[in-house]
């Protein structure tokens, strides 16, 4: 079997689990946090804070990339489908005009940020290497599907658009206007999950350091807001059509 075919075949098997790769790292992240904040213990509080701020920034940037992607795409593209590839149209405008896999790019940035928040540089490096292997295979499977479905339209777009690292020289305005309602409908689980994970890391670190959990009021407020928001959006999705947007 050719290497590309092998990668695509592996990617087809991994496709349905593409949103859960971070879960594999949760036990290792917990172990890292329980051993204390390595950077702060080694280089001092200022260095530890700087790394945590960088980690939070990466998580937010990754989520923003997802928002800018999902907010402009039509229905049945760039979705959370897990049973097979779906693409009614080929997205080539907006963020897709500068990078072919913006959702995976956003995920990678957020995942690395979340792991970095534990202050374990070794675990962060391992995560980065795993993401390269993991996403390479899934992207290979998706590209085989898209090339077969869209033919030269796909190959022409792929020839000028990087797979993972954006090139803004070919920026093209998005074909569809931004839809906040579509973003909220599709992205609210990702937002809530990110908050819960970061909150757990922060509270565990606080406990390991022997500090009072009550000394983190901002974190408690953010968690409460995320959980309430999650419940409200889920109820509105179930009982109303507030987040239903035609063609999205």
Task: Name all domains of the chain by residue range, CATH numbers in brackets.
Answer: 3-177 (1.20.120.1630)
pLDDT band at 16 (very low <50, low <70, confident <90, very high): low
Partner residues linked to 94 by β-bridges: 172
**What are the CA-CA distances from residue 163 to residues 30, 183, 220 (Å)?**
32, 23, 38
User: Is the Cα dihedral 13, 194, 63, 206 positive or negative?
Assistant: negative
Are the beta carbons of 167 and 143 closer than 8 angstroms?
no
- At 1 the pLDDT is 45
Are the beta carbons of 32 and 118 closer than 8 angstroms?
yes
The verdict on pTM exceeding 0.85 is yes
**What are the CA-CA distances from residue 28 to residues 24, 31, 35, 188, 197 (Å)?**
8, 5, 11, 26, 13
| Of residues 198, 172, 184, 164, the one with CA closest to residue 236 | 184
pLDDT band at 133 (very low <50, low <70, confident <90, very high): confident
Mean pLDDT across the chain? 89
Among 2-11, 58-67, 154-163, 210-219, whose mean pLDDT is lowest?
A: 2-11
């Amino acid at each position: 079997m050719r290497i590309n075919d092998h990668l695509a075949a592996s990617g087809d098997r991994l496709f349905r689990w593409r949103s859960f790769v971070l879960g594999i790292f949760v036990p290792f992240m917990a172990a890292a946090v329980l051993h204390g904040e390595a950077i702060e213990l080694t280089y001092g509080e200022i260095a530890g804070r700087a790394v945590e701020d960088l980690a939070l920034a990466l998580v937010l940037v990754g989520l923003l990339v997802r928002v800018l992607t999902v907010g402009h795409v039509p229905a049945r593209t760039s979705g959370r489908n897990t049973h097979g590839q779906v693409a009614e149209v080929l997205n080539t405008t907006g963020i897709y005009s500068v990078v072919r896999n913006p959702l995976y790019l956003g995920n990678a940035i957020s995942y690395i940020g979340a792991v970095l928040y534990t202050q374990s540089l070794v675990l962060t490096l391992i995560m980065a290497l795993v993401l390269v292997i993991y996403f390479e295979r899934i992207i290979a499977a998706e590209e085989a599907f898209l090339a077969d479905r869209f033919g030269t339209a796909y190959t022409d777009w792929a020839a000028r658009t990087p797979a993972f690292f954006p090139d803004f020289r070919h920026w093209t305005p998005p074909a569809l206007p931004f839809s906040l309602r579509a973003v909220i409908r599709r992205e609210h689980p990702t937002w809530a999950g990110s908050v819960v994970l970061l909150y757990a890391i922060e509270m565990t670190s606080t406990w390991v350091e022997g500090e009072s959990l009550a000394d983190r009021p901002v974190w408690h407020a953010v968690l409460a807001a995320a959980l309430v928001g999650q419940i409200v959006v889920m109820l509105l999705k179930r009982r109303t059509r507030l987040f239903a947007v035609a063609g999205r």
